[in-house]
Amino acid sequence: MTAADPVTAGGRGSRIAAVEVTPVAFADPPLLNVVGVHPPWALRAILQIRTDDWLLGLGETYGDEAQLARLQAVADRLGGHDPFDLHDLRALVADVLAQERGGAAAGASFGGMLDVDSALETVYSPFEVACLDIQARRAGVPVSALLGGAVRDEVPFSGYLFYRWAGHPGEPEDGWGEALGPDQLVAQARRIVDGWGFGSLKLKGGVLPPEQECAAVEALADAFPGMPLRLDPNGAWTPTTSVRVAERLAGVVEYLEDPTPGIAGMAEVSAQVDVPLATNMCVIAMEHLPPAIAADTVQVVLSDHHLWGGLRRSALLGGITQTWGLGLSMHSNSHLGVSLAAMVHLAAATPNLTYACDTHYPWKTQDVIRPGVLDFAGGEVAVPTTPGLGVELDGDLLGELHEQYLRCGVRRREDTVYMRSIDPTFTPNTSRW
């Protein structure tokens, strides 16, 4: 997409002069989930906001077509705005969405699993991150300092295990091998723990009948004694099945994530089990918190600045979970380094981060940032201490991934559609078992 025309704001201090939204595609392996399988290309949008005094702020978000159109509509109107005025930014985003056909109530959907009622938070988020990057660069401090300061120097992440095929049909294999049973998952876990040093593991479930997924988790517990484990079937089970699984995995998992869909279903399970329940599906906006807390629906909330309206609102979520005695973890989707940097700063500045964060990062082989920061050691990423997010774009890599976007022809994430192109009988496993 083309850059908005630079605006000269002569003499008014730092103003936004140019905004560029670049859609990119990067290779993604065939990772299985409740709604299908990851297509060969994952989409992201990289946002660059430049000020008239030559500061550059970066943001990253989902790259589906509808999201890109909204980002560009905001970008087109941002010239001349003050990057320090985030209320003004939020009002602008709300106004842009209100102009859309369907109005501001229009929601957004990402991959068939994450549906939000209002696109306000998802569209606002990358602009907020880029403005915070600019503010922090101007102040000469890391973004974590703008969120209250880093309370930890390293952010712990959890190794993310997936059932998967050895390769996309008709394409060369990527070397990770197939993982459709306990032994293959243990081998995958070995590789990911040896390579990145993760101190906890999450299995993406909702792919096979729950007994088989329980057996896989038990095999992981045997292979990695004492390792905190999680299982997340993205709502594939009924409340009755969820209770059965929770009883079987009591003492084996640190939490069960979204065993069943919806606040009511999760509350029904929560009332009957001791295993903590976590969610990134039924509590994904501020307005979900009061009913969820009132019904003791979940014990752990997964934040995600892409969905919760940026870093400041996600930090606020951390405070709310602390106030209500809830645990806090962090959700992830397929992402690149700009998102990882934002996640690391947020996690660093969140005192109530009670669990290691999720990340899909090890599954990608390409990036848009210059290497050398955000490396994993012992399953942790050191919090950048340089001004801003601490990451820089590599123009060549950005260009390469943009070319891939143009060539690949994928314009939205559609795990179910891709799965059906391979298995026409496939139906999503939501509430199936």
Ligand X SMILES: O=C([O-])[C@@H](O)[C@@H](O)[C@H](O)[C@@H](O)C(=O)[O-]
In whole angstroms, the minimum distance from the beta carbon of 255 to Mg ion comes to: 11
Nearer to ligand X, 17 or 203 (CB): 203
Sole window of 75-83, 126-134, 327-335, 421-429 interacting with ligand X (rule: CB under 6 A): 327-335
Number of helical H runs and strand E runs in the chain: 13, 17
Nearest to 235 by CA among 262, 202, 208: 262
Answer with the entry of ligand X, Mg ion, none that 51 interacts with (C-beta below 5 to 8 A by kind): none
- Distance between CA atoms of 187 and 194, rounded to whole angstroms? 11
367's tokens: 């990036």
Nearer to ligand X, 232 or 380 (CB): 232
Catalytic residue numbers, as ranges: 204, 331
Per CB under 6 A, the list member of 22, 242, 333, 350 interacting with ligand X is 333
**Residue 232 interacts with Mg ion (CB under 5 A): yes or no:** yes
**Residue 207 interacts with ligand X (CB under 6 A): yes or no:** no
Nearer to Mg ion, 232 or 254 (CB): 232
Per CB under 6 A, the list member of 331, 335, 345, 364 interacting with ligand X is 331
Per CB under 6 A, the list member of 9, 16, 31, 391 interacting with ligand X is 31
- Distance between CA atoms of 342 and 129, rounded to whole angstroms? 7
DSSP string, 349-412: T-TT--SPEE--GGG----SBPTTSS-EETTEEEPP-SSBTS--B-HHHHHHHHHHHHHH---S
**Residue 114 interacts with ligand X (CB under 6 A): yes or no:** yes
- Distance between CA atoms of 156 and 321, rounded to whole angstroms? 19
Per CB under 6 A, the list member of 61, 72, 234, 339 interacting with ligand X is 234
Q: What is the largest CA-CA distance in the chain?
A: 67
Sole window of 129-137, 235-243, 310-318, 325-333 interacting with ligand X (rule: CB under 6 A): 325-333
Chain positions 268 to 307 lying near Mg ion, rule: CB under 5 A, are 280
Nearer to ligand X, 270 or 416 (CB): 416
**Residue 332 interacts with Mg ion (CB under 5 A): yes or no:** no
Q: Residue 277: enclosing H or E segment and its boundaries?
A: strand 277-279
How many CB atoms sit inside 10 A of residue 11's CB?
A: 7
- Distance between CA atoms of 147 and 200, rounded to whole angstroms? 26
**Residue 257 interacts with Mg ion (CB under 5 A): yes or no:** yes
Answer with the entry of ligand X, Mg ion, none that 33 interacts with (C-beta below 5 to 8 A by kind): ligand X
Chain positions 357 to 416 lying near ligand X, rule: CB under 6 A, are 358, 360
Nearer to ligand X, 33 or 303 (CB): 33
**For the range 243-247, what are the long-range contacts, defined as Cβ-Cβ under 8 Å and sequence gap of 24 or more?**
243/269, 243/272, 243/273, 244/210, 245/210, 245/213, 245/214, 246/272, 246/273, 246/274, 246/275, 247/273
55's tokens: 């500061």
Nearest to 65 by CA among 412, 306, 408, 406: 412
Nearer to ligand X, 113 or 273 (CB): 113
In whole angstroms, the minimum distance from the beta carbon of 402 to ligand X comes to: 22
Asked whether the beta carbons of 47 and 24 are under 8 A apart, the reply is: no
Residues lying near ligand X in the complex (CB under 6 A): 31, 33, 111, 113-114, 204, 232, 234, 280, 331-334, 358, 360
Residues lying near Mg ion in the complex (CB under 5 A): 232, 257, 280
